[in-house]
Amino acid sequence: MAGAELTDLTVAGIRDGFRRGDFSAREVAEAFVAAVDGADALNAFLVKTPDHALAAADAADRARSEGAPPPLSGVPIGIKDLFATQGVPTTAGSRILEGFVPPYESSVTARLFAAGAGMLGKLNMDQFAMGSSNETSAYGDVLSPWRRGDGGNAPLTPGGSSGGSAAAVAARLAPGVTGTDTGGSIRQPAAFVGITGLKPTYGRCSRWGIVAFASSLDQAGPMAQDVRDCAILLEAMSGFDPKDSTSLDAPVPAWEASMSGDLRSKRVGIPAEYRMDGMPAEIERLWEQGKAWLRDAGAEIVDVSLPHTKYALPTYYIIAPAEASSNLARYDGVRYGLRVTPGQGGLADMYAETRAAGFGDEVKRRIMIGTYVLSAGFYDAYFRKAQQVRALIARDFEQAWEKCDVLLTPTAPSAAFALGEKSADPIAMYLNDVFTVPSSLAGLPAISVPAGLDGQGLPLGLQVIGRALDEQGVIDAGLAIEERAGFAAKPEKWW
Amino acid sequence: MANYIIEGDTGPWELVIGLEVHAQVTSNAKLFSGAATSFGAEPNAQVSLVDAAMPGMLPVVNGECVKQAVRTGLALGAEIHRWSRFDRKNYFYADLPQGYQISQLYHPIVGEGALEVQADEKNPDSAVRSIGIERIHLEQDAGKLIHDQHPTMSYVDLNRSGVALMEIVSKPDMRSPEEAGAYVKKLRSILRYVGSCDGNMEEGSMRADVNVSVRKANAPFGTRCEIKNVNSVRFIQAAIEYEARRQIEVLEGGGAIVQETRLFDPDRGETRSLRSKEDAHDYRYFPDPDLLPIELSDEFLSECRDSLPELPDAKRARYAGLGVSAYNAAVLTAEVETARYFDAALDALARPELANDAANWVVAELFGALNRIGANVEASPVAPAQAASLLRLVADGTLSKTLAKQVAEVMFETGGDPEKIVEERGLRQTSDTGAIEAVIAQVLAANETKVAEYRGGKDKLFGFFVGQTMKAMAGKGNPAVVNELLKKALG
Amino acid sequence: MSVDLAQVKKIATLARIAVSDRQAEALVPELNNILHWVEQLNEVDTEGVAPLEAVVPNRTRLREDAVTDGGIRDAVLANAPAAEHGFFAVPKVIE
Ligand SMILES: [Mg+2]
Ligand SMILES: [Zn+2]
C-alpha cells in the first residue's frame, strides 16, 4: 500500500488492516512520519517524536507475530502539548515552560501507549489552552489545511485551543489525536477542519498529568476522522484514576461495539435559545438538515428550553480565569521552566519578570481577570455569582433531560475565520464558544460531527450533547448524522 | 489568674489573647501525596511530583489525616462538620510550590468546642476556665527556606511541603500569659493522648500564631497584632508579655495599634513587625476545584469515636474515684506516657484499694529515680508489672517500706523482678514471733538500765528499743510485730 | 464595576506579573470591557441558589495512609533553573 493511501486510513482502518496483515505497523508509522515531516508549513507539531512512533510500531509488529496485539497496536497518534509526556518536552504552547521535560507520563497518554499506540509528536495549541484560534501559542499560529474557495489564499484558523490536533487529523498527519476541551477546545476546532471531536463527561478521562487550565472544566478527549475512531480512542483514554480526585469510578462501556445509528425510541431536543440573533443562514440551514437526518434515523424531535444559555459565556469567563489564575501560580521560575532574574532584583522581582516574559498576552489577560474576580470584596459579586448561575445552567440541562435524550445544536456560530480576523477583540473571539461552553459548564459529554460545507467550501459541524455518562447516546446520534451527511470533503494539499 | 492586669500610667489594662495552633498531624504520608513525613531527611528526599507542584499534578486526600482531625475535634468536644471542603489560599512564596496553600476557610472539618484549663495544673484548687475553640481545619504545610548557605541565594527544601497540619483556632478567651501557656500545655497533652500530633515543639510539630490585644476593663476589644510561628510555651508567654506592654506603651503615648503580623525574637525577647510594607495581602480564597467536598459517614464517625482513648480529665476523675490524691492525679495525667504507665501498673496490681499507694510510689519513687538516671517513663528500667509486684510485696507484709526502698534501688539498677531480688538478697521481712522474741530478749538484756528507766515512766525510750531490735534484725523485722512484742516484753 | 490604572497595577502585583505603565494603561479598557460583559450575570436572579459544588455527581475517596512516593530527588530537581546541594536555589530572600 502506498504511503498516501495509508495516511488516509482511519484508526479503525489501520487497526483492522494491521490485524488482517494488509500492512505492517512499521509501514504505517513510516508513512505518517513522512507526512508529518512534509507538513512543517502547517506548524501543527511542536515536537516530532518519530522514534516513539516507530518503536511502538515495531512492538506492534512483534506482538502481532506473537498473536496478541493490544487494541491500538499499529496506530500512531498525535498528542496535544498539554499532556505531560515523559522525556519529551511539554510546553502547553507557552514560553514559560520552554525546555520543560516531564519526568512523568500523563495518565491518558500512558493508557494510550499501553494500548499499543505510538506518538508522532506533540501538537501545537493555544497557550495553556486559552484561545479559540490557536493564535495564542508562543510557538506560532497553526494554519488550517483548509482554504476558502474564493481563490484567495488567506490563511485560516484551525480553531482552538486544540488547533494543532485538528490540523493534524485534517491534513492526514495522524489518524487520531488527543485534544482537551475546557469550553469547546475539542469540538470547535473539529468543526472548523471537518473532523470529529468528542468531549466526554467530566471525570471520564483522568486529568493527572495534563497541564491545568481550569480544573472544574478541563477534559481530555479524542479527535479523529469519524465517530467510530473517536469511540475507539475514548475507550483507550478513559477509566478511573485514583490519582485524580475528580475521576469517575465507573466502568468504561464498550462504546464502539455498542455503536448504532438507529435512533428509534430516542428523543432529540432542539434548544430554542441556541437560535442566536445574527446566526448565519448556512448554520441555520445545516441545523435544520441535522434535524431531518435524525428524524430519518428514527428519532423524535422535540423543542426544549435552556433558559440560561446566554449567561453561559460570561459565567465561563469568570470561572475559567479564576481557576486559571490560581492554577498558573506555580509557574514562578523556581522549580522548572523559564526564569528571568533581573540584575539587582530579589525573589518578588524574579516572579514578576519571569511571568511577564513567560506568559502571552491572552494568558496574562485571563490571569488578571481571574485575580480580580477572586479578590477581596469581589468574590461574591463575580465568582460566587458565576457558580450560582452555573448551577442554574446545569439545572436547565437536567430539566431538558425530562423531555429528550440528547440535544442537537450547531457546534460553532461560523465556519473557520482567517487568522488575525478576531484576535484584536477578545470578546468576539470568546463568542466562538457560545454553543460549546454550556455543556462544558455542566460537565456533559458532547460530540462535533462534520455535517457539510459553507458557501466558501469550509466545513461546518453539528454538535450532539448528552446526559452525564451517556457518551453512547452522543456517539449514536453522531453516527446517525455521519451516516447521512456523507461528509467526505478533505482539504486540497498545498503545504 | 482571671484578674491578671498590667498597671499602666493611665490605669490597669486587660489582655485579650487568642491562639492559632498549627499541629502537625501524625501520619505516615502527606495530606495530598504519598511522600513520607518523617523528620530530618535529606533535602527534597521526601518530595513527590505533587509536592513540587509539577504541571498537571493533582491532590488526593489522605484519609488518616481526616480521621485524626475528627478524633481531635471529638476529644475537644467540638462540633464535627459532616460536610467540609478544601479551599485554596493564594499567595506567592518560594516555599509554596503551588502558589497556593490548600486549606479550609469556608467549611472547616471541625467547628466549635472548648478546652478546660487550670492555670496551675498541680494545684487542684486553682481556678478552672473554659477556653473556646473556634474551629479546627486541615491544611498543607509549606516547605523550608534556608538563607545562610549561600551569599546570594536562598535554598528551598520541600520535604515539609504538603505535610498535614491541623490549625486549631481558639476564641479570644485567654487573659494572661499563664493562661495561654496552660492552654497550649493542655492542648498538647490532649493531642498526644489522642495520638493526632506528637506535640514535639522543637521539631516544629506544634507552633502557634499568637493574637494579642489590650483593653481597659469592660471596653471593647482593641486592635490586635498577630505574632507568627512561636514554637515554645515559654516563648509564647514571653511574646504575649512583651507585646502587651508594647501596645500599652503605644496607646498611652497617644498612638494607635496597627493590625499587623509580627515576629518574636527569642534572643532579644521582643516582637517586631514582620512585613513593614505588608503589600496588601489578598489571599483570594476559593474552593479547590481539584478536590471534592468531604462527606463523613456514620461509620467513619463511629470509627473515630471508638478509637479515642480515655482523655486526661476523665482519667483524673477516675483516679480520684480510686482514692488517688488530687495532686497525684494531676501529675499522673499531665503526660500520656505517665498515665499509660500508671494504668498498666494499676492493671497488673489488680487491687484498686492500693491505687493511692501506687500513685505515691510512681510520683515519689519512680519519678525521683528516673530523674536521677535521666530517663523518661517510657524507658523506665522498672516495668509497670514489676512496680505492681513491688507494691504487692509491701501490701502483703513481705517488705517493709524501708526494705521496699532497698529493693526498688536494686530494681532500678538491674531491671530485675522484686520477688527475685527479695529471694536472692534475703530481704524478706520476718513476722516470726519466736525469732523476734529472741532478739528482743537479747536487746533488753543488753540494756537493763534503759529498761528500768522505761518501766519507771520514761515512755520515750520505746523508740530506742524498736530501733535496736530492727538493727539487730538487719531491718527485716515486721515493724508491727516488733512493736507488739516489745510492748508485751516491756510489760 | 470598573478598574482604574491603580487597580490594574495592584492586580498585576497580586498576580506577580510585571507590567509597564504603558501595558497597564492598555489593560484598563481591555479588562473593563470584559468585566462589563460578564456583569450581564447581574440580570440573573440567583436568590437562594446554591453555588455549583461538584460538576458531575462524585464522592471523595480517601487515600490510604501509606508512603508510596518521594525518594525521587533527581526527578524533582531535574528541571530546576538552579539547584545546589539537593536544594532548589532562588535569589536571596530577605525576611
Ligand atoms: Mg494563622
Ligand atoms: Zn494555617
pLDDT tens figures, A58-109: 999 999 999 889 999 999 999 999 999 999 999 999 999 999 999 999 999 9
CA dihedral (A167, A170, A176, A178) positive or negative: positive
* Extents of the domains making up chain A: 1-495
C-alpha cell at B160: 515539609
Whether B213 and B345 map to the same domain: the answer is: no
Q: Does residue B287 surpass a pLDDT of 90?
A: yes
pLDDT band at residue A227 using 50, 70 and 90 as cut-offs = very high
To the nearest whole percent, how much of chain B has pLDDT over 70? 98
Q: Which-ligand-closest: CA of B167?
A: 2
Range with the poorest average pLDDT among A169-183, A272-286, A400-414, B290-304: A272-286
Answer whether residue B123 is part of any domain.
yes
**C-alpha to C-alpha distance for A269 and C33, rounded to whole angstroms:** 34
Same domain, B378 and B401: yes
Domain membership flag for residue B305: no
Give the range among B48-57, B122-131, B160-169, B367-376 with minimum mean pLDDT: B122-131
Q: Which residue of C has its CA nearest to A375?
A: C11
Could you tell me which chain C residue has the CA closest to the CA of B273? Answer: C95
pLDDT, mean of residues A424-442: 94
The CATH number assigned to the domain holding C18 equals 1.10.20
Number of neighbours of residue C13 by Cβ within 10 angstroms? 17
Q: List the single residue in A with minimal CA-CA distance to B55.
A: A211
Task: Tell me the per-residue pLDDT of A485-494, one tens digit each, with 9 for 90 and over.
Answer: 999 999 999 9
Per-residue pLDDT, averaged over A319-348, amounts to 95
- pLDDT value of residue B425: 81
B58 with A325: Cβ contact below 8 A = no
Do C30 and A248 make contact, defined as CB atoms within 8 angstroms?
Answer: no
Q: Give B 90-109 residues with CB within 8 A of chain C.
A: 92, 94
pLDDT band at residue C75 under the 50/70/90 scheme: very high
Contact (CB, 8 A) for B319 and B333: yes
Q: Give the B window 274-313 contacts with A, CB below 8 Å.
A: 282, 284-286, 289-292
Could B34 and C69 be called an inter-chain contact, meaning their C-beta atoms sit closer than 8 Å? yes
Catalytic residue among A80, A199, A266, A422: A80
Q: Do A84 and B55 touch (CB under 8 A)?
A: yes
**Which residue in the block uniquely carries the three cell numbers 511522600?**
B35
Residues in chain B with CB shorter than 8 Å from the CB of C89 are: 150, 153-156
Cross-strand partners of B262? B227, B273
User: Residue C82 pLDDT > 60, yes or no?
Assistant: yes
Q: Is A423 a catalytic residue?
A: no
Task: Give the domain-ending residue among B260, B281, B300.
Answer: B300
* Residues B369 and B473 reside in one and the same domain: no
When computed from its CA atoms, the radius of gyration of chain A, rounded to whole angstroms, is 21
Counting as contact any 3 or more CB pairs under 8 A, the partners of A are B, C
Contacts of C33 in chain A (CB under 8 A): 426-427
C41–A314 CB contact, under 8 Å: yes
Nearest by CB: B36 against C70, C82, C86: C70
For residues B83 and B145, membership in a common domain is answered with yes
Q: Which residues are CB-neighbours of A432 under 8 A, at least 6 positions away?
A: A132, A133, A159, A184, A188, A412, A413, A414, A422
* B401 and B481 together in one domain: no
Is residue B96 one of the residues assigned to a domain?
yes
pLDDT of residue B275: 66
What CATH number matches the domain at A1-495, 3.90.1300.10, 3.30.497.10, 3.40.190.10, 3.40.50.1400? Answer: 3.90.1300.10
Q: Judge whether A161 counts as a catalytic residue.
A: yes
Output the CA A300–ligand 2 centroid distance in Å.
57
Average of per-residue pLDDT across A355-380: 97
Closest ligand to residue B20's CA: 1
Give me the catalytic one of A73, A132, A133, A185: A185
Catalytic residue among A106, A132, A144, A161: A161
Task: Provide the domain limits for residue C32.
Answer: 5-42
A334–C88: do the CB atoms touch at under 8 Å?
yes
Q: Report CA torsion sign: B75, B79, B83, B86.
A: negative
Query: What pLDDT, on a 0 to 100 scale, did the predictor assign at position B279?
Result: 56
| Residue scoring higher pLDDT (B490 or A487) | A487
Instruction: Give the relative orientation of helices B433-446 and B462-472 as an angle to the nearest 10 degrees.
Output: 120
Q: CA–CA separation, B387 vs B377, rounded Å? A: 12
- Expressed in angstroms and rounded, the spacing between residue B269 Cα and the centre of ligand 1 is 21
Measured N-to-C along each axis, helices B479-490 and B462-472 cross at an angle, to the nearest 10 degrees, of: 120
Structure confidence at residue B127 (pLDDT):
85
A491 exposure class (CB count in 10 Å sphere: 0-12, 13-18, 19+): buried
pLDDT tens figures, B111-164: 999 999 987 766 767 889 999 999 999 999 999 999 999 999 999 999 999 999
Q: What is the pLDDT of residue B345?
A: 97
- Measure the CA–CA gap between B389 and B377, rounded to whole angstroms: 18
Residues of B in contact with A351 (CB under 8 A): 92
> pLDDT tens-digit profile of A466-491?
999 999 999 999 999 999 999 999 99
Determine, yes or no, domain membership for B343: yes
Lowest mean pLDDT among B1-15, B303-317, C57-71: B1-15
- Whole-number pLDDT of residue B126: 80
Supply A243's cell numbers: 490519582
Any domain includes B463:
yes
Chain A interface includes C18 (CB < 8 A) = yes
Ligand nearest to the CA of B141: 2
Q: What was the pLDDT predicted at B280?
A: 60
Residue at C52 is within a domain: no
Alpha carbon distances (Å) from A301 to A293, A307, A408, B13, B346: 11, 19, 9, 78, 80
B307 touches chain C (CB under 8 A): no
Same domain, B289 and B318: no
A3, pLDDT greater than 80: no
Flag whether C34 is in a domain: yes
CB contacts, 8 Å: B62 with chain C = 62-65
Nearest to A224 by CA among A481, A463, A12: A12
Provide the pLDDT for residue B292. Answer: 96
pLDDT at C59 over 90: no
Chains that touch B (3 or more CB pairs under 8 A): A, C
Q: Which candidate, A245, A196, A191, A244, places its Cα nearest to that of A221?
A: A196
Residues A120 and A77: beta-carbon distance below 8 Å: yes
Q: Which residues are CB-contacts of B237 (< 8 A; sequence separation ≥ 6)? A: B177, B178, B180, B181
Q: State the total domains in chain B.
A: 3
Closest CB from C13, C75, C89 relative to B279: C13
Instruction: Yes or no: say if A299 and A268 are a contact pair by the CB < 8 Å rule.
Output: yes
Of all residues in chain C, the one with the smallest CA distance to B66 is: C62
Mean pLDDT for all residues in chain A: 97
Residues B402, B405: Cα–Cα separation, whole Å? 5
User: Is residue B1 scored above 50 in pLDDT?
Assistant: no
Query: Are residues B261 and B296 located together in one domain of the fold?
Result: yes
Asked if the Cβ–Cβ distance from B34 to C63 is below 8 Å, we say: yes
Q: How far is the CA of B164 from the centre of ligand 2 (A)?
A: 11
Write out the E strands in A19-62.
Answer: 45-48
User: Is 0.90 topped by the overall pTM?
Assistant: yes
In this model, does residue B84 exceed pLDDT 80? yes
Binned at pLDDT 50, 70 and 90, residue A237 comes out as very high
Residue C29 within any structural domain of the chain: yes
**Residue A215 pLDDT grade (very low, low, confident, very high; cuts 50, 70, 90):** very high
Mean pLDDT computed over every residue of chain B: 93
Inter-chain touch C44–A308, beta carbons under 8 Å: yes
A185 is catalytic: yes
Distance (Å) from the alpha carbon of A333 to chain B's nearest alpha carbon: 10
Mean pLDDT, to the nearest integer, of A17-32?
97
**Phi, then psi, of B287 in degrees rounded to 5:** -60, 135
Q: What are A424's strand-pairing partners?
A: none
**Residue A44: Cβ within 10 Å count:** 32
Q: Which residue has the cell 493564535?
A: A135
**Number of domains observed in the structure of chain C:** 1
How confident is the model at residue B351, as a pLDDT? 94
Other beta carbons within 10 Å of A29: 27
Which among C67, C71, C86 is the nearest to B43, CB-wise?
Answer: C86
Res. A310: pLDDT tops 90: yes
What number of H helices and E strands is found in chain C? 3, 2
Query: What's the gap in Å between B20 CA and the centre of ligand 1?
Result: 6
With bands split at pLDDT 50, 70 and 90, how would you rate the model's confidence at A120? very high
Q: What is the largest CA-CA distance in chain B?
A: 101
Q: What pLDDT, on the 0 to 100 scale, is given for residue B479? A: 83
Domain of B261 in residue numbering reads as 5-300
pLDDT above 90 covers a percentage of chain A that reads 94
